């Protein structure tokens, strides 16, 4: 077990919580206590990221509108070196009407990141979910519409965002192409999306992002076959994002290593893009017991170690956890059962899971 770490209270007056955007700070007065051990961002030179909620529609967890916004900003800025928008850069929120873009929340996140020396990863340009009604009901030139959307968003952030999830979740677990409005209306839409993103920002790194590719070989086959096809046609793609929404049992560390290795063998950059680890997949627990917390510490340590030992330094796109605290994770609402999948508890305190990740970062160069 890790040694006990003394806590200290640090206050918002440090200034790392400060962020522009013209919003008054309506957050609570109290601030979290944070241990004195080195922050995750200081334990490695690769990007250590977190997905952040920003919009008013995700008020409970928003770094802009939540009653605990300043605490959320403090924690994110101190522990992490990279950020990604959990939702506000998805088409439904950033492009709500054909002739209207909502830059406010995305710009707020970018300013927050820049003020705190953090990288920004863009998520996501093309997905089968989070599509505005006007896109679903579009009757014009679909290819021109999609190209315009990608070009406008990437160009707007080209000076600030250096990497993008261009296409998200385009394949089913059996390796077949998912049927979406994009596949229905645009032939070869995935390739065309990457060409548009590259044209808008030739310097940006372009990723394909998906879930279960660490555990479903046919799905990863489809992704890597797509990459091979792209290379034959000179279509740019730099890396693969492994979401890694996993649990205490599944998949095995061996499976994860094998999947990473297949991408490395092709010279692809690898990101752990949306990491969280469910500890109650069978709905048998009502609280995170010390025993479960210790298993989660080991699981985080093993997964991060697998990444660092399998992916060489120059192909590491970084590690991002999907949310800040257990209290605001998407997991509990989606699965309708209690769970504790992240590194920090509802009181902003580091969990043993944080220690497991730290142990792996410190131990593996």
Residue 350 sits at φ, ψ, to 5 deg, of -60, 135
Q: Which residues does 234 contact at the CB level (< 8 Å), separation at least 6?
A: none
Alpha carbon 301 to chain centroid, angstroms: 19
CA–CA dist 140, 138 (Å, integer): 6
DSSP letter assigned to residue 208: E
Could you count the other beta carbons within 10 Å of the beta carbon of residue 136?
Answer: 9
Catalytic status, residue 86: no
Q: Which residues does 359 contact at the CB level (< 8 Å), separation at least 6?
A: 2, 297, 301
Query: Strands, DSSP E only, in the chain?
Result: 7-9, 33-35, 48-52, 82-85, 119-122, 163-168, 205-210, 239-242, 245-247, 269-278, 316-321
Catalytic residue among 169, 205, 214, 359: 169
Task: Assign 53 to helix, strand or coil.
Answer: strand
- By CB atoms closer than 10 A (0-12, 13-18, 19+), residue 18 is middle
Catalytic residue among 79, 214, 274, 359: 274
Catalytic status, residue 274: yes
Quick check: 49 and 10 in contact, CB under 8 A? no
Quick check: 235 and 195 in contact, CB under 8 A? yes
Quick check: 199 and 113 in contact, CB under 8 A? no
Could you count the other beta carbons within 10 Å of the beta carbon of residue 285?
Answer: 16
Q: Which residues are catalytic?
A: 169, 274
């Amino acid at each position: 077990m890790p040694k006990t770490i003394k806590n200290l209270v640090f206050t918002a007056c440090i200034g790392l919580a400060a962020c522009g955007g013209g919003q008054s700070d309506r957050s609570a007065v109290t601030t979290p206590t944070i241990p004195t051990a080195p922050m995750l961002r200081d334990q490695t030179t690769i990007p250590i990221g977190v997905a952040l909620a920003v919009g008013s529609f995700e008020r409970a967890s928003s770094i802009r509108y939540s009653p605990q916004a300043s605490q959320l900003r403090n924690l994110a800025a101190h522990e992490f070196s990279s950020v990604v928008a959990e939702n506000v850069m998805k088409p439904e929120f950033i492009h709500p009407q054909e002739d209207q873009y909502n830059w406010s929340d995305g710009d707020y996140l970018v300013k927050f990141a820049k003020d705190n020396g953090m990288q920004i990863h863009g998520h996501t340009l093309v997905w089968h979910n989070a599509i505005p009604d006007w896109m679903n009901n579009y009757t014009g030139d679909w290819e021109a519409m999609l190209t315009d959307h990608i070009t406008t968003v990437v160009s707007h952030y080209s000076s600030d965002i250096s990497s993008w999830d261009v296409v998200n979740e385009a394949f089913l677990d059996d390796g077949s192409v998912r049927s979406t409005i994009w596949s229905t209306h645009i032939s070869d839409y995935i390739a065309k999306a990457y060409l548009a993103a590259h044209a808008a920002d030739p310097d940006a790194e372009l990723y394909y992002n998906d879930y279960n590719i660490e555990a479903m070989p046919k799905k990863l086959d489809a992704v890597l076959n797509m990459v091979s096809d792209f290379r034959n046609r000179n279509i740019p793609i730099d890396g693969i994002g492994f979401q890694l929404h996993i649990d205490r049992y599944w998949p095995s560390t061996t499976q994860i290593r094998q999947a990473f290795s297949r991408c490395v063998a092709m010279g692809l950059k690898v990101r752990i893009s949306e990491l969280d680890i469910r500890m109650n997949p069978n709905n048998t627990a009502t609280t995170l017991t010390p025993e479960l917390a210790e298993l989660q510490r080991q699981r985080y340590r093993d997964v991060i170690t697998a990444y660092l030992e399998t992916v060489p330094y120059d192909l590491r796109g970084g590690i991002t956890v999907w949310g800040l605290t257990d209290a605001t994770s998407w997991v509990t609402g989606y699965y309708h059962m209690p769970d504790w999948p992240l590194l920090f508890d509802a009181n902003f305190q580091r969990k043993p899971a944080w220690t497991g990740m730290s142990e792996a970062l410190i131990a593996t160069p």
